[in-house]
């Protein structure tokens, strides 16, 4: 009887230990799924300092198949409307290994609160986000553009924590000449209601004919609030850099991308993708001298002359 009791107790103890080991292994697998995948894939060729930024997503909606061990970098473009982000994103998407998915937070329901924001980010970085920019399963860099007025500044602490957890690289993209940005913003707001192109609003165009139609509108700038507007834009950009510059990042300006042929090479190096010639079908809308783009140019010039913004009056996007 003593022997039978001993064997029974020993058997029960053994089963208990085995079940606990299975539970622990399952927990580890769920918690460190990315690490398990990383261990299954060859990463010895990746420099040690870059390994934290390498991911091997496992989409729920499809299988990456033979590309399951193709490393993916996560990125985000932080910018402001009418700063060249749309044009810049078309350049990125002309690369076969880059997928930038537009303004995913332009829809207010996706940024109602931090939970919906995180859920949206998770879906995108798991490669389960479908858009016209989505590449095949062998994409090597995936991201989107996030306008500063679309919730990112309101929840900057939680979003920074998320970026750190996911090792998201940041591309800051701004425009140095914020006067030209303002003119573009006012013209775009006007067309949102006027719909000058056959009853359709277009923020970006692909022909010189369409660009000329949109460029005919000349906004009137409210000079009474012009300086306050410039100060607000500068403060917003400064806050953004302060909140997120602790992350791996690169700072770009629209004017420099146009004037510096090496700028796009640096971006591709930053995203660790093979260098390609990047192209865009977009056509610039406002190409005329600034005095021809504003109805009350004399008032604007008088307001800015003698201030630290005076150089905006003669500044060209093309460096001329």
User: Taking residues 261-273, what's their average pLDDT?
Assistant: 95
**Residue 61 DSSP label:** S
Average pLDDT in the chain: 89
SS (H, E, C) 288-306: CCHHHCCCCHHHHHHHHCC
Order of strands, sheet of 249-253, starting from the edge strand that comes earlier in the sequence: 98-100, 141-147, 73-79, 169-174, 249-253
Task: With beta carbons less than 8 A apart as the criterion, state whether 172 and 251 touch.
Answer: yes
The dihedral sign for the CA sequence 111, 115, 118, 124: negative
* Rounded-to-integer distance, Cα 254 and Cα 175, Å: 5
pLDDT of residue 135: 72
Residue 130: pLDDT band (50, 70, 90) is: confident
The pLDDT score that the predictor gives to residue 66 is: 84
Output the pTM of the full model: 0.86
Question: Which residue reads 């003119």 in tokens?
Answer: 183
pLDDT of residue 317: 60
Q: Residue 103: what are its φ and ψ, rounded to 5°?
A: -85, 80
Domain boundaries in the chain?
48-313
Its sign, for the CA torsion 49, 50, 53, 56, is: negative
Scored b (16 or more CB within 10 A) or e, 37-67 reads ebeeeeeeeeeeeeeebbbbbeeeeeebeee
Of the ranges 31-35, 72-76, 182-186, which one carries the lowest mean pLDDT score? 31-35
Provide the pLDDT confidence category of residue 146 given band limits of 50, 70 and 90.
very high
Distance of CA 98 to the CA centre of its chain: 12
**Tens digits of residue pLDDT in 13-43:** 665 555 455 443 433 433 344 554 566 787 7
Is the pLDDT at 6 greater than 70? The verdict is: no
**Cα gap 313→155, rounded to integer Å:** 35
DSSP label at 278? -
pLDDT value, residue 211: 97
78 vs 8, which has greater pLDDT? Answer: 78
Q: Which CATH number applies to 48-313: 2.70.98, 3.40.50, 1.10.287, 1.20.58?
A: 3.40.50
Helix (H, G, I), strand (E, B) or coil at 218: coil
């Amino acid at each position: 009887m003593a022997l039978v009791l001993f064997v029974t107790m020993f058997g029960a103890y053994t089963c208990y230990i085995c079940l606990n080991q299975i539970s622990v292994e399952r927990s580890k697998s769920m918690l460190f799924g990315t690490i398990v995948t990383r261990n299954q894939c060859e990463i010895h060729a990746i420099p040690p300092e870059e390994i934290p930024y390498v991911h091997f997503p496992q989409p729920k909606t499809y299988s990456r198949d033979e590309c399951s061990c193709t490393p993916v970098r996560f990125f985000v473009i932080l910018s402001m409307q009418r700063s060249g982000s749309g044009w810049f994103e078309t350049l990125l998407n002309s690369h076969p290994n880059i997928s930038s998915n537009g303004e995913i937070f332009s829809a207010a329901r996706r940024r109602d609160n931090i939970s919906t924001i995180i859920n949206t980010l998770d879906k995108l970085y798991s490669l389960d986000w479908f858009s016209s920019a989505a590449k095949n399963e062998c994409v090597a860099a995936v991201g989107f553009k996030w306008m500063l007025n679309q919730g990112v500044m309101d929840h900057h602490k939680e979003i920074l924590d998320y970026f750190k957890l996911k090792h998201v690289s940041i591309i800051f993209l701004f425009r140095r000449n914020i006067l030209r940005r303002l003119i573009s913003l006012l013209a775009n707001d006007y067309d949102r209601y006027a719909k000058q192109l056959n009853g359709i609003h277009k923020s970006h165009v692909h022909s010189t004919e369409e660009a000329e139609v949109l460029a005919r509108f000349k906004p009137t700038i409210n000079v009474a609030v012009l300086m306050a507007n410039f100060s607000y834009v500068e403060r917003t950009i400064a806050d953004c850099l302060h909140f997120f510059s602790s992350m791996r990042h690169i700072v770009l300006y629209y004017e420099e991308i146009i004037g510096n042929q090496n700028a796009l090479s640096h971006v591709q190096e930053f995203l660790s993708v093979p260098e390609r010639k990047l192209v865009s079908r977009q056509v610039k809308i406002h190409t005329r001298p600034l005095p021809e783009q504003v109805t009350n140019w004399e008032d604007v010039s008088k307001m800015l002359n003698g201030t630290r913004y005076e150089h905006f009056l003669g500044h060209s996007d093309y460096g001329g």
